[in-house]
């Protein structure tokens, strides 16, 4: 029954993640309910999540929603940022970021809610040297954040791609998966090396998350930007609630 429960939660989480990010808001509590050791929990979650993100990336790529020319320039910096973030968190308490991230997540959610036209039209016309430099800084910073702290990473990536490059929500969701996948990859390697992955749980949940990611990414492609925007706002504010809960309790 534990495996069935985790697979169902993984499936739902992957649908949400493919649309607006935030699978950990669903899967982490599910693993806790199932009674996994905290370190094994994080490693197993990363293993299954990477599988789901890989499927989302594949599905979006097949739908021609990913600008590979841009993403292949940014993804290495996301990976480098994650490496730096993981190394830094071993030396510095990540809780120092909590109040800052809480405020930023709330502001992102409110700003997106109030700005009616944001992300509803794809204004992306390619990249130039200025936007590429901004994108590299974003990839490096959010890769670092993902390795150092994590909550709301997908939300921040989507919002940043919209603001820097003029992507619509659909295009931002699609391209964000490439950056998210690259930053998650380093964490997965470290968990695997340290034998913190429960494969008997991780493999079936990974399969469920791949199915959920396929469904979620197809919904984005078929339903469009007006479908993604409210879910994005909900996930931004849900991530803020998660951070606030962690601060208080």
Confidence of residue 93 (pLDDT cuts 50, 70, 90): confident
Stated pTM of the model: 0.90
Backbone angles phi, psi at 122, to 5 degrees: -85, 105
- pLDDT given for residue 102 in this prediction: 86
- pLDDT given for residue 9 in this prediction: 96
- 12 near 205, Cβ under 8 Å? no
Q: What is the mean pLDDT of the chain?
A: 91
Q: What's the CA gap between 71 and 235, in Å, rounded?
A: 24
28-32's contacts with Cβ under 8 Å and 24+ in sequence apart are 30/5, 30/6, 31/6
Domain ranges of the chain: 2-248
Q: What's the CA gap between 249 and 237, in Å, rounded?
A: 18
Closest to 193 measured CA to CA, from 47, 32, 24: 47
For the ranges 86-90, 109-113, 128-132, the lowest mean pLDDT is seen at: 86-90
Joined together, the tokens standing for residue 235 give 């996930």
Our CA angle for 184, 51, 2, nearest 5°, is 110
- pLDDT given for residue 178 in this prediction: 95
Our CA angle for 71, 118, 132, nearest 5°, is 30
Alpha helix (H) ranges present in the chain? 2-20, 24-34, 38-62, 68-89, 98-114, 129-148, 153-165, 169-193, 199-223, 225-248
- More confident: 187 or 64: 64
Closest to 158 measured CA to CA, from 169, 144, 145: 169
- pLDDT given for residue 30 in this prediction: 92
For the ranges 18-27, 63-72, 91-100, 151-160, the lowest mean pLDDT is seen at: 91-100
85 contacts: CB under 8 Å, gap ≥ 6? 143, 144, 145, 146, 147, 148, 149
Write out pLDDT tens, residues 211-224. 999 999 999 999 99
């Amino acid at each position: 029954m534990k495996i069935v429960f985790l697979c169902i939660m993984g499936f739902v989480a992957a649908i949400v993640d493919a649309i607006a990010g935030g699978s950990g808001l669903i899967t982490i509590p599910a693993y806790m309910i199932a009674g996994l050791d905290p370190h094994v929990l994080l490693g197993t979650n990363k293993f299954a999540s990477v599988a789901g993100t890989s499927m989302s990336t594949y599905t979006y790529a097949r739908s021609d929603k990913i600008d590979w020319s841009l993403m292949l320039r940014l993804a290495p910096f996301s990976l480098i940022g994650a490496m730096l973030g993981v190394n830094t968190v071993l030396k510095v308490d990540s809780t120092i970021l909590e109040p800052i991230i809480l405020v930023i997540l709330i502001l992102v959610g409110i700003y997106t809610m109030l700005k009616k036209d944001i992300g509803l039209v794809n204004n992306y016309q390619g990249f130039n040297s200025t936007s590429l430099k901004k994108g590299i800084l974003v990839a490096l910073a959010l890769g670092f954040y993902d390795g150092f702290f994590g909550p709301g990473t997908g939300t921040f990536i989507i919002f940043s791609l919209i603001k820097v490059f003029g992507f619509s929500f659909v295009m931002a969701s699609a391209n964000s998966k490439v950056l998210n996948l690259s930053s998650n990859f380093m964490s997965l390697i470290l968990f695997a090396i340290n034998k913190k992955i429960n494969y008997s749980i991780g493999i079936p949940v990974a399969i469920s998350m791949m199915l959920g990611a396929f469904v979620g990414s197809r919904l984005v492609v078929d339903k469009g930007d007006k479908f993604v925007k409210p879910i994005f706002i909900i996930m931004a504010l849900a991530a803020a609630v998660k951070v606030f809960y962690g601060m208080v309790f």
